[in-house]
Amino acid sequence: MFLMVSEVTLAERDSDPIHAVAARLGVSIASAVAVKRSLDARGHRPRWLAVCKVEIADRDAARVEGLHGVRRWSQRDEERYGEPEALVPRVRRWSGPPVVVVGSGPAGLFAARTLGDAGVPVVLLERGQAVEQRVPEVKDFWKRRKPLDPENNLLFGEGGAGTFSDGKLTTRRRDGEVGQIMRYLVEVGADPSILETAHAHLGTDALRKILPTLRARLGELGVEVRFGARVVDLIVERGRCAGVVLASGERVAAHAVLVAAGHSARDTLEMMVRRGARAVARPMAVGVRIEHPQRVIDEARYGRRAGEGLPPASYRLTWSPPGQARRAHTFCMCPGGTVVPAVNAAERLVVNGMSYAARGGSWANSAVVVGIQPQDFGGTGPLAGYAWQDALEARAFAVAGDWRAPAQRVVDFLADRGSASLPRSSYPMGIVSHPLAALFPPGLVAGLKGALLHFDSQLAGFAGEEALLIAPESRTTSPVRLLRGDDRQSEGLPGLYPVGEGAGYGGGIISTALDGLKAARAVIAAAG
Ligand SMILES: Cc1cc2nc3c(=O)[nH]c(=O)nc-3n(C[C@H](O)[C@H](O)[C@H](O)COP(=O)(O)OP(=O)(O)OC[C@H]3O[C@@H](n4cnc5c(N)ncnc54)[C@H](O)[C@@H]3O)c2cc1C
């Protein structure tokens, strides 16, 4: 029979758990497989823990069942950790035009994959380029100051916004559709450990390898993937979305159109609203990226064990002050990472963070963001948040007049004084000293200050001498939501499926991939 044994202490992250489980239970076991591994950094001695599926003789099971953390392996465990069943049955036959998917970020890719698996013909249109052309373009922009390509950059191109990221897979789930997504990722080259690691991440280098394999797999499923294919309009026939128009003038007829354009394709979002898709403004969070030497974070989290071969430490902090004050949180923390210019438009500056799989860099960075409401945007209509973001990003660019980012030491930001000198930073295009309070509205500055002080009380050194702020982190999510019905079609324009982060659904690789997968299933269900 099988038992679930939790809190198995491992010598190292990748240790085979069989000896630890046998020692813990004090009986012989046939097999032990870790279904989840996590680092427990509480207390003085951080340790690797595993949850294991253990095969054991019935008579021995009777002796140990009921011990702390030991119980029978249940149907629920099987659903959560076992192999998922095929979730989408194949369509029997498909006549008529293909389904068009716009955007090859996580939402578009997993929508295309799900449709392809079901035998639905798909055309996947991406305005940017394949990673083989995209990565050198971004590197030339950073390192050789090659002019920004507005169609092929850190935000646009194969893999979408997540390609140059830490590749954090932010979910505890491994069951159902999320399990399916994780297994898709492993199938195209992700490290199988993501199936069992609690806070799994891929790293930008791994993502760049996974994407061509994923593309090839889509090709095998009959998905036509086209790069340099920017959608500029929708074909609307008898009140229904019936295809798309490309910048080249080409018209592509579609059975249904899934638009997964991301939070930075403002032109595409505006076009959908102009074509009748109903939308509302929604809250978002805005602020700065904070950077510390990774050593500071390791010492704060691991204490004396810092430097003893433990992985670079991370954190996740929140601040909810009483009363009406703004809430704040850290977001998209990148251990051993790099602060990057996350830009797709001329004379606009936005920062974000990424890491490689090894997280081996000298710095740790994270967003520190404060919530803002649609009434703060100062405009009316569903797209008012874009104008607010745009003005902030233009102010930030104007500080240096190029891609160098405004920066200030945390201690100086808190004391309302300029930074006479700046520490070294991972940001690849240079930083310039600037009082960051001048970029933001006063309420947001007060929120940032309160949060920094609070986070410093939780993580020693967070607001210390070595901490640096780089700004602005203005695109944490989309400030607009395209409304859709229970069938996931646009309210106002049937046949159009607004999907993923740009449409206001999900924020992050897994949540947007899940939204794409579910939208694909809705298209299949609607087709009967
Ligand atoms: C630097 C950075 C680091 C991040 N780190 C993480 C992380 O570690 N973990 C995490 O979970 N999330 C992370 N995120 C967020 C995550 O990447 C996004 O939430 C996710 O990529 C959104 O997926 P999406 O498919 O909705 O849109 P996107 O990934 O933005 O993809 C949209 C795609 O649509 C294309 N497109 C847009 N308009 C058109 C058009 N008109 N015609 C054709 N194609 C079009 C774009 O070129 C783009 O490729 C990070 C984001 C950034 C920028």
Give yes or no: residues 75 and 117 share one domain. Answer: no
Question: What's the CATH number where 250 sits?
Answer: 3.50.50.60
Give yes or no: residues 199 and 317 share one domain. Answer: no
Strands (E), 379-507: 405-409, 431-433, 468-473, 480-482, 496-498
Residue 412 has pLDDT above 80, yes or no: yes
> Mean pLDDT throughout 86-92?
67
168: amino acid identity, one letter: K
Residue with tokens 């740009």: 502
Distance CA 8, CA 69 (A): 9
Are residues 350 and 473 in contact, defined by beta-carbon separation less than 8 angstroms? yes
- Work out which ligand 1 atom sits closest to the CA atom of 169: 11
Residue nearest to atom 15 of ligand 1 (CA): 508
Give yes or no: residues 464 and 503 share one domain. Answer: no
Q: Residue 324: pLDDT band by 50, 70, 90 thresholds? A: low
> Which residue out of 114, 512, 518 has the highest number of ligand 1 atoms within 8 Å of its CB and is therefore the one to mutate?
512
Q: Which two tokens stand for residue 227?
A: 């790069």
Residue 83: its pLDDT value, please?
56
Give yes or no: residues 331 and 410 share one domain. Answer: yes
Residues 442, 444, 449, 453: is their CA dihedral positive or negative? positive
**Ligand 1 touching residue 337 (CB < 6 A):** no
Are residues 462 and 452 in contact, defined by beta-carbon separation less than 8 angstroms? yes
Q: Give distance in angstroms: CA of 165 to centre of ligand 1.
A: 10
Give yes or no: residues 15 and 155 share one domain. Answer: no
Residue nearest to atom 53 of ligand 1 (CA): 161
Residue 69: its pLDDT value, please?
93
If 0-12 CB within 10 Å is exposed, 13-18 middle and 19+ buried, where does residue 186 land?
A: middle
Q: What is the pLDDT of residues 161-218, one digit of tens each?
A: 999 999 999 888 877 888 889 999 999 999 999 988 888 999 999 999 999 999 999 9
Domain final position from 81, 110, 143: 81
Distance CA 336, CA 18 (A): 32
**Ligand 1 touching residue 509 (CB < 6 A):** yes
Choose among 402, 338, 425: nearest CA to 145. 402
Residue 73 has pLDDT above 60, yes or no: yes
Q: Give distance in angstroms: CA of 158 to centre of ligand 1.
A: 9
For residue 11, the enclosing domain spans: 2-81
Angle at the Cα of 25 (from 23 to 26), degrees rounded to 5? 65
Domain final position from 35, 50, 81: 81
Alpha-carbon Rg of the chain, whole angstroms?
A: 24
Number of domain units in the chain: 3
Distance CA 493, CA 192 (A): 41
Q: Give distance in angstroms: CA of 105 to centre of ligand 1.
A: 5
Give yes or no: residues 310 and 444 share one domain. Answer: yes
Are residues 368 and 287 in contact, defined by beta-carbon separation less than 8 angstroms? yes
Give yes or no: residues 361 and 254 share one domain. Answer: no
Distance CA 412, CA 30 (A): 60
Quick count: other Cβ atoms within 10 Å of Cβ 23?
Answer: 10
Q: Give distance in angstroms: CA of 298 to centre of ligand 1.
A: 30
Question: What's the CATH number where 9 sits?
Answer: 3.30.70.2700
* Residue 88 domain flag: no
Give yes or no: residues 292 and 326 share one domain. Answer: yes
Q: Mean pLDDT score of the chain, rounded to an integer?
A: 93
Residue 261 has pLDDT above 60, yes or no: yes
**Ligand 1 touching residue 128 (CB < 6 A):** yes
**Ligand 1 touching residue 265 (CB < 6 A):** yes
Residue 308: its pLDDT value, please?
83
Give yes or no: residues 335 and 258 share one domain. Answer: no
Give yes or no: residues 269 and 315 share one domain. Answer: no
Give yes or no: residues 113 and 251 share one domain. Answer: yes
Distance CA 242, CA 95 (A): 15
Distance CA 105, CA 114 (A): 14
Give yes or no: residues 41 and 136 share one domain. Answer: no
Q: Residue 87: pLDDT band by 50, 70, 90 thresholds? A: low
The fraction of the chain above a pLDDT of 70, given in percent, is 98
Residue 81: its pLDDT value, please?
76
Q: What is the pLDDT of residues 110-122, one digit of tens each?
A: 999 999 999 999 9
Residues 161, 166, 170, 176: is their CA dihedral positive or negative? positive
Q: Residue 88: pLDDT band by 50, 70, 90 thresholds? A: low
